[in-house]
Chain A
Amino acid sequence: MKAKHQRLTLAVLALVALVGAGLLATFALRDQANYFYTPSDIVEKKPVAGKAIRLGGMVEEGSIRHEEDGVTVNFIVHDGTAKQAVMYTGITPDLFVEGSGVVADGKLTSDGMFVADNLLAKHDENYIPRELEGIDMTGNMTKTDTLVE
């Protein structure tokens, strides 16, 4: 009887751990998952300022402006219908040019500026999120079909 008892306890414990992990995961996901927005999404859905989101679109022609400090860059991301001003401090990725696609991780400030912590436009497919699929055009077979796991 005891053996059965212990076995059941273990099984239930395992299930509790599993469900607990699932709950913790759902809770954290609700808080921490970055939703992907295009500039028109931002106009439509108006995400809360300060919440981490991901912005994707094209860098508008002629919009890249370097600040005096040499490390901050301002530019406008558009998707054909809406525009979003972005500020980023850091080294821009190689592919970052006017007219190119870009995905930025960051937050909206209360005055509507998107402050990016990270720009993704790197050539390596493993670090290009899927959303960029439609925008990036640098992949080829030798790059895409590689092994980095």
Chain B
Amino acid sequence: MNRWLLWVPLVLFGIFFAVVAAGLIRPKDNIIESKMVGKPIPEFSLPAAIEQRPALATTDLATGKPQLLNIFASWCVPCIAEAPQLLELERAGVQINGIASRDTPADIANFLNRWGNPYVRIGTDVRSIVQLELGSSGVPETFVIDGKGVIVHQHIGDIRKEDVPELLEILEKAG
């Protein structure tokens, strides 16, 4: 008569499982999309991060040609993971601008020497003020910007191999 009681633990575990499984599927929703998508890049002007590349300002991003804006840091491991993909994009003829977040020139130079430098311009954002204005919430993140300087797409997290064609497609559409 109390047989059914024996199933209670399993049922409780089932509920737990459902909640957690839902939570595991959901994290994507918790990544905060920038409210800036669809809006023009905010006004900023960042000093050059390293000597070999020029500084970066809003005006450099509205040149009539779609570009990428990649936020990275030398202390960030996923940034290493995405370095080959950025180089691949560079080889595909994409203009990539970098913003180094909370970093020092020496570390940035070191990082780029080691993992490759796909950037045409790199601004240094020591207190990640510009990053916040862009509505970026972490490192690495990549924005696709159209010829008029409007953000058309935000990629959160490192760029994986499978993301490259998607980004190229978005760049093409933006052009």
**Chain A–chain B contact at Cβ < 8 A:** yes
Q: What residue in chain A is nearest B33 (Cβ atoms)?
A: A134
- Among B1, B32, B127, point to the contact of A97 (Cβ < 8 A): B127
Known: A99-B132, A137-B137. A8 touches B102 (CB 8 A): no
Kindly specify which of A83-91, A111-119, A139-147 makes contact with the partner chain. A139-147
Known: A7-B2, A58-B132, A142-B77. A137 touches B127 (CB 8 A): no
Residues of A within 8 A of B78 (CB): 140-141
Known: A15-B8, A142-B77. A133 touches B31 (CB 8 A): yes
Q: What residue in chain A is nearest B5 (Cβ atoms)?
A: A11
Is A140 a contact partner of B137 (Cβ separation < 8 A)?
no
The CA of A138 and the CA of B75, in the complex, are separated in Å by 9
A62 at the interface (CB under 8 A from B): no
B124 at the interface (CB under 8 A from A): no
Q: Is the interface of B mostly helix, strand, loop or mixed?
A: loop
Residues of A within 8 A of B132 (CB): 58, 99-101, 137
Is A137 a contact partner of B2 (Cβ separation < 8 A)?
no
The CA of A58 and the CA of B127, in the complex, are separated in Å by 13
Is A11 a contact partner of B102 (Cβ separation < 8 A)?
no
The CA of A142 and the CA of B78, in the complex, are separated in Å by 10
CB distance from B12 to the nearest CB of A (A): 8
Is A11 a contact partner of B2 (Cβ separation < 8 A)?
yes
The CA of A110 and the CA of B52, in the complex, are separated in Å by 56
Tally of chain A residues near chain B (CB < 8 A):
21
The CA of A100 and the CA of B133, in the complex, are separated in Å by 11
Is B77 a contact partner of A140 (Cβ separation < 8 A)?
yes
Q: Which B residues from 59 to 82 make CB contacts under 8 A with A?
A: 73, 75-78
Residues of A within 8 A of B8 (CB): 15
- Among B1, B75, B76, B127, point to the contact of A99 (Cβ < 8 A): B127
Residues of B within 8 A of A101 (CB): 132
- Among A11, A134, A141, A142, point to the contact of B137 (Cβ < 8 A): A134
Is A137 a contact partner of B77 (Cβ separation < 8 A)?
no
Q: What residue in chain B is nearest A131 (Cβ atoms)?
A: B30
Residues of B within 8 A of A11 (CB): 2, 5
Interface string of B71-104 (1 = CB under 8 A from A): 0010111100000000000000000000001100
Is A139 a contact partner of B138 (Cβ separation < 8 A)?
yes
CB distance from B82 to the nearest CB of A (A): 12
A80 at the interface (CB under 8 A from B): yes
The CA of A80 and the CA of B127, in the complex, are separated in Å by 18
Across chains A and B, which 4 residue pairs bring their CB atoms closest together, nearest first?
A134-B32, A141-B77, A134-B137, A140-B76
21 contacts between A and B (CB under 8 A): A8-B2, A11-B5, A15-B5, A99-B132, A100-B128, A100-B132, A133-B30, A134-B30, A134-B32, A134-B137, A135-B32, A137-B101, A137-B102, A137-B131, A137-B137, A137-B139, A139-B138, A141-B76, A141-B77, A141-B78, A142-B75
